[in-house]
Homo-oligomer: A and B are copies of this chain.
Amino acid sequence: MKVLIVYAHPTPSSLNGTLKDHALKILKEEGHELQVSDLYLMKWKAVVDAEDFPSHSDSSPLNVVFASGEAYTTGTQAKDVAVEQEKLLWADAIVFQFPLWWYGVPAILKGWIERVYAYRFAYGYKDGTNAYRFGEGILSGKRAFVSVTTGGSEADYGPRGINGPLDQLLFPLTHGALFYPGMEVLPIFAVHAAMFLDEAGLCAAKSALGERLKRLFIEEPTRFRRQNGGDYPDRHTLADHIAPEISGLPAHVA
């Protein structure tokens, strides 16, 4: 199969760099074809702005939605954006490796999403509306694997840990950015207390990551509810009879 690794850390010898290298090794041993988007090495442009749309007229105010949709449909996108979209279309699975910074993805990865996810590509699929999203879209059926390191202890990210649960903090990524255009999102892989990891801890982390990656194409994905699967009759709100006792982010997992 074909696997794209999207990696966001400035330091090759960091824990994140080590885990990325280990993922590459394991995935290669498994016989997969590989591409890597090393965002720091690529000096990825993190900020979406008018420079992304050279064909956009300076005389009209920039609307990122329409400008990105026009650039996408007319083949006038920034080259780096088009290349990343091609990698996404090529891949059967995408592995994300990054540190949790201020309880979310690093800015360089957030900016990768913002620029690569053009209108009519990742949203407004097919008809420009929200008709196809959350379980259907351009990346339908591809698998997404999120591997993250944290500074805090595992307890801090527990169900009642002070930071909040990791899967809820990363819901904007897993549900909002990966499931949205159709990806099947596997449970998050996390290495906690990264600064305090000793040699044995690093070995255990690499081993655990390797085991997860060997099951990349067979593991059961998180059961996010599909917009058009019947649970949201009006495409906006969960039907009253679906998990009636739950509200908030957990209500969107079956």
Known contacts A46-B108, A110-B102; decide if A249 and B161 are in contact (CB<8 Å): no
Binary per-residue interface labels of chain A (53-88) against chain B in the complex, 1 for a CB within 8 Å, 0 otherwise: 000000001111100000000000000000000000
Cα-based distance from A165 to B171 in the complex (angstroms):
11
CB distance from A38 to the nearest CB of B (A): 13
Whether a CB of chain B sits under 8 angstroms from the CB of A14 is yes
The contact of A156 among B62, B106, B236, B249, by CB within 8 Å, is: B236
Cα-based distance from A49 to B107 in the complex (angstroms):
11
Whether a CB of chain B sits under 8 angstroms from the CB of A163 is yes
B46 touches A161 (CB 8 A): no
B65 touches A162 (CB 8 A): no
CB distance from A117 to the nearest CB of B (A): 7
B164 touches A48 (CB 8 A): no
Stretch at the interface among A21-29, A140-148, A172-180: A172-180
How many A residues touch B, CB cutoff 8 Å?
Answer: 66
Instruction: Find chain B residues with CB under 8 A from A48 CB.
Output: 10, 106-107
Whether a CB of chain B sits under 8 angstroms from the CB of A201 is no
Whether a CB of chain B sits under 8 angstroms from the CB of A160 is yes
B177 touches A103 (CB 8 A): yes
CB distance from A64 to the nearest CB of B (A): 7
A102 touches B161 (CB 8 A): no
Instruction: Find chain B residues with CB under 8 A from A31 CB.
Output: none
CB distance from A80 to the nearest CB of B (A): 14
Cα-based distance from A107 to B235 in the complex (angstroms):
28
Q: Which of A110, A111, A251 has the most CB of B within 10 A?
A: A110
The contact of A159 among B62, B153, B155, B248, by CB within 8 Å, is: B248
The contact of A114 among B61, B106, B163, B236, by CB within 8 Å, is: B106
Whether a CB of chain B sits under 8 angstroms from the CB of A238 is yes
CB distance from A165 to the nearest CB of B (A): 6
Instruction: Find chain B residues with CB under 8 A from A168 CB.
Output: 168, 171, 248-249
Q: Which residues of A contact B (CB under 8 A)?
A: 10-14, 40, 44, 46-50, 61-65, 101-108, 110-111, 113-114, 117, 130, 134, 151-153, 155-156, 158-165, 168-169, 171-172, 175-177, 195, 227, 232, 234-238, 247-252
Known: A103-B176, A160-B251. 4 other contacts (CB 8 A): A107-B107, A164-B248, A168-B249, A169-B171
